[in-house]
Amino acid sequence: MELDGVEKVFDVRRKVGFLRRERHQVRAVDSISFRVPRGEMVGYIGPNGAGKSTTIKMLTGILTPSAGRLRVAGVDPSRERTRLAQRIGVVFGQRTTLWWDLPLIDSYRLMHRMYRVPDARFRENLDRCVELLDLGELLDVPVRQLSLGQRMRGDIAAALLHDPEVLYLDEPTIGLDVISKAKVRGFLRDLNAERGTTVLLTTHDLTDIEQLCRRVMVIDHGRLLYDGALTGLHEVGESERTLVVDLEREVPPIELPGTRARTVRTQGPRQWLAFPATESAAPLVARIAAEYPLVDLSVREPDIEAVIAKMYADRSAV
């Protein structure tokens, strides 16, 4: 995937007054550039209305960019949409690509024909998906009778029957219970590792990102705010880690002058100290052990959701 200065501007008419309509423009994607090499699994996150779906629609060829250059598997998506369709798979968690009234297997048979997948390959891919996504019992069930988690697994299989090199996943775990989420994540991890499928993953569930992606891109108001390792977000977000300290007895809040650690909570003999996530806990632990009646201690990593919420808030304040 290669994007250079890609923009998408929508012309919108808004009703103002009884007869008057005002035209204005929405810049849904604003000069975005990134590259995703073959075989990488990347998270693409941002608040509602940030421009994620618009980006994915341009990457599939459904929408044409207003400006910039875009290539997927060497192809310009909007110019060669049909050719690209053979090489990409898309899962929109909120919508299904399956035929609602047909048994699951019939949707797959239709896709077999539509994508002109060679018989042997179709069989092999179907068998693999049925096994790994646990679809055996569901193949003869009409899609409308499937639970959300079952339907999602059915949709993921549908996106993979033609062996796509690139997979776009838009909220693939939305509304799923913990077990279904784990199943979907495990499957995607194996798919990426074994087949080298390139994956762009959009989600509001940051655990998806933590468990699947080493790289994450954060978008807001159509612009890329961050592109890098998930751990690097902590530096950008100035997040904090927490030392949870258990003492022999209740004492006044711990003070460690000369450090950036501060006590944020106390409860009997237990105290919580926040310190910058980018700093080492070791000197703080040594000081506490030397100066206080320490019994036990643990370090809590920063909550990635809090870091990202802060990033969005900082951006909105600009």
Ligand X SMILES: Nc1ncnc2c1ncn2[C@@H]1O[C@H](COP(=O)(O)OP(=O)(O)OP(=O)(O)O)[C@@H](O)[C@H]1O
Residues near ligand X, by CB under 6 A: 10, 12, 26, 28, 46, 48-54
- Closest distance to ligand X from the beta carbon of 160 (Å): 23
Which lies closer to ligand X via its Cβ, residue 82 or residue 94?
Answer: 94
**CA dihedral sign of residues 273, 279, 284, 286:** positive
Comparison of 49 and 136: residue with beta carbon closer to ligand X? 49
Q: How far is the CB of 226 from ligand X (least distance, A)?
A: 15
Please say which residue, 12 or 193, places its beta carbon nearer to ligand X: 12
Q: How far is the CB of 169 from ligand X (least distance, A)?
A: 13
59 vs 281, beta carbon nearer ligand X:
59
Q: Cβ–Cβ contacts within 10 Å for residue 96, how many?
A: 18
Select 10 or 100, whichever has its Cβ closest to ligand X.
10
Long-range contacts of 210-217 (CB under 8 A, 24+ apart): 210/304, 211/185, 212/41, 212/43, 212/185, 212/188, 213/41, 213/42, 213/43, 214/41, 215/40, 215/42, 215/43, 216/42, 216/43, 216/44, 216/45, 217/34, 217/42, 217/43, 217/44, 217/45
CB of 100 to ligand X, least distance (A): 22
> In 3D, which of 276, 297, 270 has the Cα closest to residue 285?
297
Least Å from the CB of residue 175 to ligand X: 14
Query: Which is nearest to 93 in space by CA: 149, 18, 47, 41?
Result: 149
SS3 for 136?
Answer: helix
Q: Minimum CB separation from ligand X for residue 13, in Å?
A: 10
Amino acid type, 55: T
Q: Which is nearer to ligand X, 46 or 302 (CB)?
A: 46
Q: Which of 109, 108, 84, 89 is nearest to 163 (CA)?
A: 89
